[in-house]
Amino acid sequence: MKGYRNVLIAVNGSMDVLVKGLKFLSDESCRVTVVKVVPENDGDLNLTGVRNIGDVLDGGGSRAVSEIRKVARSEGMFVKTRLEEGEIHDKIAEIAKEERSELIIMGGHKRKGIKHFFSKNIVGKVIRQITCPVLVVGT
């Protein structure tokens, strides 16, 4: 591989992208930042039957950060974690610039037909905002 020094891994709903990204980087000596972006809270909460208000407010982000650390430890890697709130593609691009990332690893889904046409296409939106390479792994 090229010898990237700063790598950003953007996790989505599953930890597959993290596991695959860390395995890909296992032979590298690089600084890895893992980001989980949760959508902004619009302020319209339905709290009926909610037991843990913290989970609702951070979109389960705290649990995701704990899971990220657990997965990284199991892969023998040390990672910096970031939990961010906002538009997913904008935040990933912003963090990549802040962290001076030389590579972004993201998950992607295969979509066909009408689903492809109307999908959010987060990867494409990130690619249009940054200059570093993006490695897309299937999830």
Instruction: Summarize pLDDT for 72-118 with one digit per residue, the tens.
Output: 999 999 999 999 989 999 999 999 999 999 999 999 866 555 454 44
83 falls within a domain: yes
Q: Please tell me the total count of domains within the chain.
A: 1
Instruction: Summarize pLDDT for 58-77 with one digit per residue, the tens.
Output: 556 778 889 999 999 999 99
1 falls within a domain: no
Domain range enclosing 68: 6-138
**Residue 50 is encoded by which pair of tokens?**
């909610």
DSSP, collapsed to helix, strand or coil, labels residue 1 as coil
Q: What is the pLDDT of residue 120?
A: 66
What CATH number corresponds to the domain at position 43? Answer: 3.40.50.620
Instruction: Summarize pLDDT for 10-36 with one digit per residue, the tens.
Output: 998 789 999 999 999 988 889 999 999
